[in-house]
């Protein structure tokens, strides 16, 4: 009897370890510890696990707002629609900027320990109204994420060009943002590291929030 109980406990522990490495979305298993190409050694195992948690948050969000059960299809459908949006109002409506869902997404992502490796906060004025203080995210040009893009770019021309454009502009400029959105159909979104890049791109270009300076 004791032997059976011990065996059951061991089985539960093994199951728990398995579930921490794999995340299930609508019947699909993704090994979230594998978030970089095999030849790319930018991140260590601990960092990859944290990136996996970060990506799983965005995957869930995208599946929810796109209403598409297949995660790869969800990415393609969502970014395909963004390609043809012409007005700021339509873009904000489609991406849910300013809604409770989008705010909750940004809050969850900001709590991940890899957040500061990828992004930094910057402050300025709303580019349209000019009278609103805003805080937004820009890429951390000194972080490992840029190194990850550079290493990935050694075997992928699109990523190489994307990385060079970001380095030249010190971030994702409006022109980079728009041109990159045209390329989603060139990516295999069954691969975690491709979804990671698009997640970072999306969060960066939709991160602007009104900022109230309490010191004034």
Please state the rounded mean pLDDT for residues 201-205: 93
In a domain, 124, yes or no: yes
pLDDT, position 77:
92
Domain tally, the chain: 1
Give the pairing of strands 133-139 and 119-125: antiparallel
Single pTM value for the model: 0.79
In a domain, 216, yes or no: no
- Residue 146's Cβ-side half-sphere holds a number of Cα atoms within 13 Å equal to 19
Nearest by Cα to 114 from 172, 199, 182: 199
The answer, yes or no, to whether residue 216 has pLDDT greater than 60, is no
In a domain, 215, yes or no: no
Q: Which two tokens stand for residue 215?
A: 């010191």
In a domain, 21, yes or no: yes
Q: Residue 74: which domain range?
A: 2-210
In a domain, 171, yes or no: yes
pLDDT, position 20:
39
In a domain, 126, yes or no: yes
In a domain, 14, yes or no: yes
pLDDT, position 22:
41
């Amino acid at each position: 009897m004791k032997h059976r109980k011990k065996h059951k406990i061991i089985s539960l522990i093994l199951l728990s370890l398995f579930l921490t490495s794999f995340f299930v979305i609508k019947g699909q298993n993704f090994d979230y510890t594998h978030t970089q190409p095999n030849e790319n050694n930018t991140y260590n195992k601990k960092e990859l696990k944290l990136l996996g948690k970060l990506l799983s948050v965005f995957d869930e969000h995208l599946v929810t707002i796109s209403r598409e059960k297949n995660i790869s299809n969800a990415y393609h459908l969502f970014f395909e629609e963004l390609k043809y949006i012409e007005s700021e109002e339509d873009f904000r409506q489609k991406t849910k900027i300013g809604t409770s869902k989008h705010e909750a997404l940004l809050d969850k992502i900001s709590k991940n320990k890899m957040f500061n490796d990828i992004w930094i906060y910057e402050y300025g004025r709303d580019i349209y109204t000019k009278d609103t203080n805003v805080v937004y995210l820009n890429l951390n040009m000194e972080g490992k994420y840029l190194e990850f893009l550079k290493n990935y770019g050694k075997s992928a021309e699109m990523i190489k060009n994307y990385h060079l454009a970001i380095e030249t502009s010190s971030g994702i400029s409006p022109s980079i943002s728009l041109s990159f959105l045209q390329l989603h159909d060139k990516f295999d979104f069954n691969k975690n590291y491709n979804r990671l890049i698009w997640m970072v791109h999306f969060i960066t270009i939709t991160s602007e929030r009104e900022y109230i300076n309490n010191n004034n």
